[in-house]
Amino acid sequence: MAQAQFGGLDVVVNVAGGFFSYGPFTEVKPEILDRELSVNFKTAFYMCQAAVPLLLTRGGGAIVNFASIAVVRSLMHMSAYSAAKSAVAGLTRELAREYRDANIRVNAVAPATVRTADNVAQMGDTQPLVELEEVVNTVLFLASDEASAITGQIVPITGKAY
């Protein structure tokens, strides 16, 4: 679609994700692990796999994946989610190395809990949450030519949350 409508692809932002399990590691059911991996890792994997040939055709570009603060700071009772987001971080570093000479930069943002209506409803309005604008600004920077020297990085976005 990007090829047909815009003449090519320059930037990919893999924002798909979700959180489906909370509880002790020993209670994570196979179907929950599969869902966490499918939504949080496989979507990024397959999107990158589809996008890289288009980026190569254009002579490079930028990929920004969404990991989570869970990849840099352990979070209690989130083993399946943390594993899936850690896979995204690993994929990010691997692709950055594999395609650096092709001028494809690959980075990931690792936000703490972002202020959304759902998160506020669940956690309350007094919790320190990352503002959506902080995430957007970081993604825009990593996708821009101003970040041309940055690749293979996992960028925590904590705002006032940590």
Domain ranges of the chain: 9-157
pLDDT band at residue 1 using 50, 70 and 90 as cut-offs: low
Question: Fold for domain 9-157?
Answer: Rossmann fold (3.40.50)
- The set of residues, in sequence order, having a beta carbon less than 8 Å from that of 109 and lying 6+ positions away, is 64, 65, 66, 67, 135, 138, 139, 142, 154, 155, 157
First to last CA, the chain: 39
Length of the chain: 162
Q: pTM to 2 decimals?
A: 0.93
- The set of residues, in sequence order, having a beta carbon less than 8 Å from that of 92 and lying 6+ positions away, is 63, 65, 67, 106, 107, 108, 152, 154
Mean pLDDT of the region 142-150:
98
- The amino acid that residue 148 corresponds to is S
Which of the following is catalytic: 46, 81, 99, 162? 81
pLDDT band at residue 122 using 50, 70 and 90 as cut-offs: confident
162 in catalytic set: no
Q: Which residues of 30-56 are buried (b: 16+ CB within 10 A; e: fewer)?
A: eebbebbbebbbbbbbebbeebbeebe
> What pLDDT score was predicted for residue 10?
97
Per-residue pLDDT tens digits for 32-56 = 999 999 999 999 999 999 999 999 9
Per-residue pLDDT tens digits for 9-19 = 999 999 988 88
Q: Which DSSP helix (H) or strand (E) runs through 108? A: strand 104-111
Contact 156, 69 (CB under 8 A): yes
Mean pLDDT of the region 118-145:
88
Per-residue pLDDT tens digits for 56-100 = 999 999 999 999 999 998 888 999 999 999 999 999 999 999 999
